[in-house]
Structure 1
Amino acid sequence: MNIGYDAKRVFHNTTGLGNYSRDTLRILADQFIDHKYLLYNPRLGSINRLELKSNMFVCMPKIKIWKKLNSLWRQKAIVKDLLEDNVQIYHGLSNELPIGIEKTNIKTVVTIHDLIFLRYPKLYSYLEVKIYLKKFNRAVHAADKIIAISEQTKKDIVNFFKIKEEKVEVVYQGCHAAFKESYSTEEKQKVKDKYFLPHKYLLNVGTIQERKNLLTIVKAIKNTSDHLVVVGKKTKYLDKVKKYIITNGMEQRVHFPQVVNMTDLAMIYQMANIFIYPSVFEGFGIPIIEALFSKIPVVSSKGSCFKEAGGQIVFI
């Protein structure tokens, strides 16, 4: 069977959506080797975190104009390529499906990760909310099947978009194999030296944005001697956090290493004393899974999907 995937995040995203896309493809290609996995990538990317198996094929725009207008290709024109490639199932891995695919005989699946933009619209611009609402609404109604990454996300899909429950399946996420490996003391020490990490530290991983609540952690350790290591994509919210750090003389205790590969990140997890994840709301929370596989204690927020991801963890 030829199975097509929206692979934009596979080759252009280093955070949650990219990790989900790569892990999904890796697992399927390993477990169901007889299928062909066609990865539709709108343009060349610099992220090389997926080892292509013999049953994986990268597909890019075939016509010159769509190579230039690759966003439009991904949104609509890709359907013609899917038909030419005899794709039988198409999976939108990150909340979207191309316009017009519902008029073909191609079966469709879409993964919805979260509906935070509807729960907390103030965290987004007015235009972002409008665009996301249109894309998500179209995708969930056009899809033959919807995958939700948690029961919390399934409830939100049903409630916000009035979708029948039986159309939505909950499929929990896994994490990269690097977090399931054991590393030697020597390997860990090299990583500690490479990123100038303290001997003991608390750890927080995730995009540095307001919803993730990093400032709460920084404030919590203000009057302690604890060190905090923060790994994640930087946004404007970091300016607010750094202002507090500088004002309170904490520059030597809050560390922001620039991690470039999963193996290094896995060792940073394993060397941490505690993983702290006080996010306001998530679709699932892969970092919790990564921390648990790393065999370190997890402290997280109460509510949302965190108990689904972590089980019996300590709530704050």
Structure 2
Amino acid sequence: MNIGFEAKRVFHNKTGLGNYSRDLVRILATYFPENNYFLYNPKAYKKTLFVSNNTNVFEKNPISKFNKKFSTIWRQKAVVKDLVKDNVEIYHGLSGEIPIGLQKKGIKSVVTIHDLIFVRYPNLYSFFDRKIHFYKFKKAAERADLVIAISEQTKKDIMSYLHIDASKIKVVYQGCQDVFKREYSDSEKQQVAEKFNLPETFVLNVGTIEERKNALTIVKAIKKLDVDLVLIGKQTDYTEKIHQYISENKLEKRVRFLKGLTSEELAITYQLASVFVYPSIFEGFGIPIIEALYSKTPVITNKTGVFSEAAGPNSLYIEPFDVVDLSKKISKVLSDNSLASKMKEEGLKFAQQFNDDVIASEVMSCYQQVLSV
């Protein structure tokens, strides 16, 4: 089978959508090596985020001068000619988009929609971004033969906001990179702890430091606790609110902002953390939660929305802005060794449903379902 992918984010996005795209291509190529996987990348750069070790994965770029110059047009429409030339049987839009004209050429299609946060929380997006996102997602969901939602929550939102029938939507959870599933040696952990000056006991939060992720609530929650906080992620204007609170409450020595970690350093930091706190207001899924579970780090997260799907029955839950309850739950995890141990072990067991082989099998089942119609 020849399978094509919208691969812009495979090669150009360092975080969420890019990680999802790279991991999916990797695991499909590994578990189903009999197929060919074509990655349609609109712009080739010398520095790339993805190099496949599989001989059945091929990067495809625009060839003509026109398509190279107008790569957006190529990605949205002209790429279909290349799909036909490569005998692609099914095309997968990995981040809410598929090109126009697939049906006319007899090419089946699947599109993954990660979330519709821009509809739920329009205040977090500009007017034009909301309109563009909605138009692209709506059209892709209507044109595709099957829609993959990364959670039951996202499926509900696709049905509600895009008015797509439930029978056309399949939930396939995300996984995470293998690097978070490894056991690291004491010496490796010590090197990372020393490099980033990590305390012996600390609360960890990973993700873009923006209003929706709600990191300020964690800072407030640890104010009266004897524990430090490590925040890892790209900083935005919202970060200034956190810095202001830290300054006003003299917490400079207890809150650390880290960036520029390698994947291995991030994975080791998860394993060094005493508890992972993720009070995000809303997510399509919440990959950092999965990373924490695989790292055997206790998780505290939001009790509403998608988070219980990702964190499972043995994590602890809070209302996202309840500083007092969050403080109590952090304190309980840090002081109750038996609770922390149970959360670690049961969390790891729960995470097995996000293993590569499970995800690869479910996605391939989606492809076969579409092709059989």
| Aligned residue pairs, count | 316
Q: Deviations over 1:154-188 (max 9, x none)?
A: 11111112211111000011111111110100001
CA contact (8 A) 2:148 2:172 kept: yes
- The structure-2 alpha-carbon separation of the partners of 1:7 and 1:255, relative to structure 1 and needing over 3 Å to count, comes to same
- How far 1:104 sits from its partner (Å)? 2.1
Q: How does 1:163-312 map to 2 (within 5 A)?
A: 163-312=164-313
Alignment correspondent of 1:119: 120
Task: Provide the C-alpha distance between the structure 2 equivalents of 1:307 and 1:253, rounded to a whole number of angstroms.
Answer: 29
Task: Provide the C-alpha distance between the structure 1 equivalents of 2:94 and 2:28, rounded to a whole number of angstroms.
Answer: 13
Task: Provide the C-alpha distance between the structure 1 equivalents of 2:133 and 2:192, rounded to a whole number of angstroms.
Answer: 39
- How far 1:204 sits from its partner (Å)? 0.4
Percent of aligned pairs with the same amino acid: 56
Task: Provide the C-alpha distance between the structure 2 equivalents of 1:49 and 1:294, rounded to a whole number of angstroms.
Answer: 24
- How far 1:251 sits from its partner (Å)? 2.1
Verify: 1:32 aligned to 2:35, yes or no: no
CA contact (8 A) 1:14 1:47 kept: no
Q: Deviations over 1:270-314 (max 9, x none)?
A: 000000000111111111111011001000001111111111121
Alignment correspondent of 1:105: 106
- How far 1:219 sits from its partner (Å)? 1.4
- How far 1:127 sits from its partner (Å)? 0.8
Task: Provide the C-alpha distance between the structure 2 equivalents of 1:296 and 1:49, rounded to a whole number of angstroms.
Answer: 28
CA contact (8 A) 2:96 2:112 kept: yes
Alignment correspondent of 1:3: 3
Larger CA Rg, structure 1 vs 2: 2
Query: SS of the counterpart of 1:256?
Result: strand
Q: How does 1:18-167 map to 2 (within 5 A)?
A: 18-45=18-45, 46-167=47-168
- How far 1:240 sits from its partner (Å)? 2.3
Q: Deviations over 1:197-220 (max 9, x none)?
A: 222211001121111101111111
Query: SS of the counterpart of 1:43?
Result: coil
Task: Provide the C-alpha distance between the structure 2 equivalents of 1:301 and 1:280, rounded to a whole number of angstroms.
Answer: 7
- The answer for unaligned runs of 5 or more in structure 2 is 319-373
Task: Provide the C-alpha distance between the structure 2 equivalents of 1:218 and 1:18, rounded to a whole number of angstroms.
Answer: 29
Task: Provide the C-alpha distance between the structure 2 equivalents of 1:308 and 1:173, rounded to a whole number of angstroms.
Answer: 11
Task: Provide the C-alpha distance between the structure 2 equivalents of 1:28 and 1:91, rounded to a whole number of angstroms.
Answer: 12
- How far 1:84 sits from its partner (Å)? 1.6
- The structure-2 alpha-carbon separation of the partners of 1:99 and 1:245, relative to structure 1 and needing over 3 Å to count, comes to farther
Which residue identity does 2:218 align to in structure 1?
I
- The structure-2 alpha-carbon separation of the partners of 1:116 and 1:87, relative to structure 1 and needing over 3 Å to count, comes to same
Query: SS of the counterpart of 1:90?
Result: strand
Task: Provide the C-alpha distance between the structure 2 equivalents of 1:6 and 1:116, rounded to a whole number of angstroms.
Answer: 22
- The structure-2 alpha-carbon separation of the partners of 1:72 and 1:241, relative to structure 1 and needing over 3 Å to count, comes to farther
**Selected match of 1:314 from 313, 316, 322:** 316
Task: Provide the C-alpha distance between the structure 2 equivalents of 1:225 and 1:133, rounded to a whole number of angstroms.
Answer: 45
Q: Deviations over 1:109-134 (max 9, x none)?
A: 00000111111111111111101110
- How far 1:49 sits from its partner (Å)? 4.7
Task: Provide the C-alpha distance between the structure 2 equivalents of 1:47 and 1:189, rounded to a whole number of angstroms.
Answer: 30
Provide runs of 4+ in structure 1 moved above 6 Å: none
TM (norm. structure 1) is 0.96
Which residue identity does 2:317 align to in structure 1?
F
Which residue identity does 1:232 align to in structure 2?
G
CA contact (8 A) 2:14 2:49 kept: no
Which residue identity does 1:286 align to in structure 2?
I
- How far 1:50 sits from its partner (Å)? 4.6
- The answer for unaligned runs of 5 or more in structure 1 is none
